[in-house]
Amino acid sequence: MSSLLIRGAKPYGEGEPVDILVRDGVIAAIEPKIDHDADEVLDAGGLVALPGFVDLHTHLREPGREDTETIETGSRAAALGGYTAVFAMANTDPVADNAVVVEHVWRRGREVGLVDVHPVGAVTVGLKGERLAELGTMARSAAGVRVFSDDGLCVADPLIMRRALEYTKALDAVVAQHAEEPRLTVGAQAHEGELAARLGLAGWPAVAEESIVARDCLLARHVGARLHVCHVSTAGTADVLRWAKARGTTVSAEVTPHHLLLDDSRLSTYDPVNKVNPPLRTSTDAAALRAALADGTVDCVATDHAPHAAQDKDCEWSAARPGMLGLQTALPIVVQTMVGPGLLDWRGVARVMSERPAEIAGLADHGRPIAVGEPATLALVDPAGRWTVRGADLASVAANTPYEGMELPGVVVATLLRGALTARDGKATK
């Protein structure tokens, strides 16, 4: 039997430090002091132990754009960021709208073995929004798909969306909607407001998101299905979610780290590294999203990790692709925006980065308590550590981080997936 002894960690940052004994991938003991001749000892003095993070929204780009990311490089970035499970979005080439593609993604994830890679199936064929993809076939495939999304594009047709909700209800799955009324965002380049007008950038109005979220909450309640809202970006959307949840609608939502920290004031430089969809909103929106995450209106943090090649970002704003890297910087940004100001404690971090996303996606073996008999799927974090972000040093193929040169708090020291160290001291194990 293989064993690992973690010495001096604080589960959830609470109480006195304890030793955690891991045997064959399971937590075998948690005691103030464990005397055991383990195969490996990890000094975790001063570290916070959390359940491994789960990302509901990752772009791994494979198949089709391996020049920007692969399942292997994305898995490395995820492990280094404390993640133990990621959900790979369907907008690949070919699109993940059938069992063949989702099984390829799932198998590649297993071959790499650093994180559990769960493919997200497309809602519609080719992401075209015209007819439903093979939802049942993907759900029954070896990949066992339980999250479906056309992310990058909205399922704009209300009848198609209703049918998708009906099918996923029968499959015990969830539709993750990219909320954007396309007729309101034609040519949009930035958040519709004073700054966009001054910069001469076509506006992406907040109501384009809010109107779709309201519509879909009504549809989900009517059908009795589960709805998940991707990358919430406006204060108004938080208000809609609060209203829908009060009515008993089964809706969950995610916010990205960049929408918690950044706002549209960064656009004044015209640097396309700041271009993202949905766009960076106002500082008022960012504050409202932080409050909504703290009170549970927004359920979880998801990275929307979106790697792009240099030529797709180092160009004029209008031609640049939207998206930012996020896997390795997510936890530090949550520490800066939520833990530092007292909006979340470490239990809260576990809730929004591990427990709730695992629950939403139906992962039985992630987001588990740190307790004897549970899987040793953990992230060990140095709460006092600080590090400076350099895109070139990140594990992704791409380097399009908006946090270049920023010093951020919180360092992931080690990540364990079912007892196996997948990252340690800034290096992935594969």
User: What pLDDT shows up at residue 322?
Assistant: 98
User: What pLDDT shows up at residue 430?
Assistant: 75
CB 252 within 8 A of CB 226: yes
Q: Which structure tokens are listed for 363?
A: 């992962």
Supply the pTM of this predicted model: 0.98
Q: Which structure tokens are listed for 167?
A: 């099918």
Residues in the chain, pLDDT under 50: none
Q: Strand 48-51 vs strand 40-43: parallel, antiparallel, or unpaired?
A: unpaired
What φ, ψ does residue 58 adopt, rounded to 5°?
A: -130, 140
Among residues 263, 304, 312, 382, which one is catalytic? 304
Could you tell me the fold of the domain covering 3-48+374-385+407-425? Urease, subunit C; domain 1 (2.30.40)
Which residues partner with 179 through β-bridges? none
- Dump pLDDT digits (tens) for 74-124: 999 999 999 999 999 999 999 999 999 999 999 999 999 999 999 999 999
Rounded alpha-carbon distances, angstroms, from residue 310 to 152, 186, 211, 368: 20, 25, 34, 39
Extents of the domains making up the chain: 3-48+374-385+407-425, 52-361
Neighbouring CB atoms inside 10 A of 332's CB total 27
Of the chain, the end-to-end C-alpha distance in Å amounts to 22
Q: Which residues contact 170 (CB under 8 A, 6 or more apart)?
A: none
User: What pLDDT shows up at residue 429?
Assistant: 87
CA 266 to chain centre: 23
Q: What's the rounded Cα separation, in Å, for the pair 49 and 383?
A: 10
Identity at 72, one-letter amino acid code? E
User: What pLDDT shows up at residue 302?
Assistant: 99
CB 211 within 8 A of CB 181: yes
Strands (E), 281-391: 300-301, 378-388
CA angle (380 as vertex; 382, 325 as ends), nearest 5: 80
Q: What's the rounded Cα separation, in Å, for the pair 207 and 183?
A: 11
Residues in the chain: 430
Identity at 419, one-letter amino acid code? G
Residue range 52-361 in CATH 3.10.20.30 = no
User: What pLDDT shows up at residue 1?
Assistant: 65
Identity at 406, one-letter amino acid code? M
Q: Which residues contact 125 (CB under 8 A, 6 or more apart)?
A: 95, 97, 131, 132, 133
Which residues partner with 227 through β-bridges? 175, 251
* 304 is an active site residue: yes
Q: Strand 40-43 vs strand 26-31: parallel, antiparallel, or unpaired?
A: unpaired
User: What pLDDT shows up at residue 36?
Assistant: 83
